[in-house]
Amino acid sequence: MIEYLTEVFRGILAAGVKGILVLNAHDGNIEVVKAAGEVIADEFLDRFVLLINWWQTLPESFVNSLGFFSQSGGHGHGGPLETSVVQAIKPEAVELSKGKDIDLKPGSANEALHVVCGETHRETWAGYHGRVSEASKEKGEVLIEESVKRIVKAVQEWISTHV
């Protein structure tokens, strides 16, 4: 995937495009996008690749201020924040009756510590965590509107100081 994305970035930038904005919707893509960008960085010193993860535009403190979710600002893999957004975009893709609430386990207080194996067993991993019963289309609409505002602002600020 890194090689593929590297070639896509290289082709776009070599064609004269000043920059690329990658709007990411999956945590697993972050390191791949970063790695591809690093591979081509020295080739395109006057160009840029920006990565923005939509869910990170909605910090826990902001989401908590809305009173939508009872845990971690609704964040978590497939949790109520993400599920609400999907409900707002494509309601038929969400079947809340098939999911049960799965409380988040507290993570490490040490930000340098990353558990990459040992916390979850594949047989018991439901593919999500969080209180999905708290998700709703209406919450998703509010979250999308705020995320879009924050994405636009971040990109405009970056461009105004770098381009």
Q: Compute mean pLDDT per 10 residues along the chain, 163 residues long, and list them.
A: 97 97 93 96 95 95 96 89 97 93 71 63 68 96 98 95 86
pLDDT value of residue 123 = 55
Global confidence as pTM: 0.85
- Residue 32 CB neighbour total at 10 angstroms: 18
Contact assessment for residue 76 and residue 101, using Cβ atoms and an 8 Å cutoff: no
Model pLDDT, residue 139: 98
Dihedral sign computed on CA atoms, order 110, 113, 119, 125: positive
pLDDT of residue 129: 80
pLDDT value of position 124: 57
Residue 7 is predicted with a pLDDT of 98
Closest residue by Cα to residue 26 from 65, 61, 52, 62: 52
Q: What is the pLDDT of residue 39?
A: 96
Pick left, alpha or beta for residue 156 (phi over 0 → left; psi -120 to 50 → alpha; otherwise beta).
Answer: alpha
CA distances from 128 to 13, 42, 100, 136 (A): 36, 38, 10, 16
